Structure 1
Amino acid sequence: MWDVSAHVGQLVTILIMAVALGLDAFSLGIGIGMKGIRLRDVLRISTVTALFHIIMPLIGMYTGKYVSSLLGDITSYAAGGLLVLLGAHMILNAFREGDTKLVDHRSLLGVILFSLSVSVDSFSVGVSLGMFSSDLVLTVLAFGVCGGLMSVMGLLLGRRVSQNMGDYGEAVGGAILLAFGLLFIF
């Protein structure tokens, strides 16, 4: 017999995890959005972020079945280090004369680095979920939709705030990324 309460409980749990994982994309999206961003770039970054929020937990779920004990805190340190580097780079670029940026958030590399940094946690959660019998399709779709939507909201909010902050928006955005990177590490 089909147990409705068990399925509802699993759905609620997956949605709470999806929103929690999407909060990284939201918070970091504010930082990127403060640099000043076009709507087309918001859509592109959010789409790639949603895809990474699908792919990373999927890979994690399969990995979790085999090597869950080997991962530990490595993924948090990697994500934190990446965010610290991106944040420091944004802060330096805010005060640098000229247009000599190493990684532009609108470039393919910048989009991939942002999406990877906010979806590494999804990989870790996927590893944990891989050890349990969770609905694979529901889980990865919920993670992807929440990650993408939260990214859009954060990027648009950051874009709105940056219009009022002027030239300091990029430095503030970099500081946000740097702070989140340090939180991941420590």
Structure 2
Amino acid sequence: MDLLSMVLIGVGLAMDAFSISVSRGLALHESETNYALISALSFGTFQAAMPVLGWVSGLEIQRLVSALAPWAAFILLLIIGLKMIYESLIMEEEEFIFSYRELLVLSIATSIDAFAVGVSFALLDISIWLPVIVIGLITFILSLAGSYIGERVGHIFENRLEALGGLILILIGLKILLENVSFT
């Protein structure tokens, strides 16, 4: 596989993590910039690890995962999105609270599609190691940038944008569901 293809796959896989980083960055304050680094590291690590798991797992698990993954991602993102919207409505000027649990759930939800990419690499007999490095680095960089973009925009509009961030998560989950599930 050529480097351009790896980069394009990496960017495609990183878009959900980037969007979530922007939405979570909306609630950040300058004193909480460590969250941006930690979340970028988490997203990048999961985006890099999931293709390896998919590559190792092979075809049999792909059938199960491909059927359940869109629903799992949708439900996880819906719950977190609704939580963000709820918190934006009931909490005025509330400080952003870093949660490793929430970050873990978001990291898993955004990297489920990377698992399927890993399975496809195995089926195509593509070495996994260079693509994994590219995917992980791109996701890390875009997630870090997304957090900072969200933080900068968030200060302009104050904390009301957390509801927008929650809506973004719900829409990402819905997009994943609609792209991967047949309702006929």
TM range (shorter): 0.7 to 0.9
Q: Could you tell me how far 1:134 is from its partner in structure 2?
A: 1.2
Find the structure with the greater CA-based Rg. 1
Q: C-alpha separation between the residues in 2 aligned to 1:105 and 1:57?
A: 30
Q: C-alpha separation between the residues in 2 aligned to 1:99 and 1:60?
A: 42
In the alignment, structure 1 residue 137 sits paired with structure 2 residue 129: yes
Match of 1:148 among 116, 133, 140: 140
Q: Paired residue for 1:4?
A: none
TM-score by length of 2: 0.87
**Unaligned 5+ runs, structure 2:** 179-184
Q: C-alpha separation between the residues in 2 aligned to 1:32 and 1:41?
A: 9
In the alignment, structure 1 residue 173 sits paired with structure 2 residue 170: no
SS at match of 2:27: coil
Match of 2:85 among 79, 91, 110: 91
Amino acid at match of 1:115: S
**Unaligned 5+ runs, structure 1:** 1-8
Match of 1:81 among 64, 67, 75: 75
Match of 1:47 among 36, 41, 44: 41
| Aligned CA distance change for structure 1 residues 107 and 71 (closer, same or farther; 3 Å) | closer
Q: C-alpha separation between the residues in 1 aligned to 2:2 and 2:58?
A: 19
**Cα-Cα RMSD:** 2.1
Q: Paired residue for 2:52?
A: 58
| Aligned CA distance change for structure 1 residues 105 and 78 (closer, same or farther; 3 Å) | farther
Q: Could you tell me how far 1:141 is from its partner in structure 2?
A: 0.6
| Aligned CA distance change for structure 1 residues 30 and 149 (closer, same or farther; 3 Å) | same
SS at match of 1:133: coil
Q: C-alpha separation between the residues in 2 aligned to 1:97 and 1:138?
A: 44
Q: C-alpha separation between the residues in 1 aligned to 2:63 and 2:33?
A: 42
Please list the CA deviations of residues 83-138 of structure 1 after superposition, one character each: whole Å capped at 9, or x if unmatched: 1111000000011148999xx76221022112112111111211211211112110
| Aligned CA distance change for structure 1 residues 97 and 67 (closer, same or farther; 3 Å) | closer
Q: C-alpha separation between the residues in 1 aligned to 2:97 and 2:34?
A: 12
Q: C-alpha separation between the residues in 1 aligned to 2:147 and 2:94?
A: 23
Q: C-alpha separation between the residues in 1 aligned to 2:79 and 2:51?
A: 24
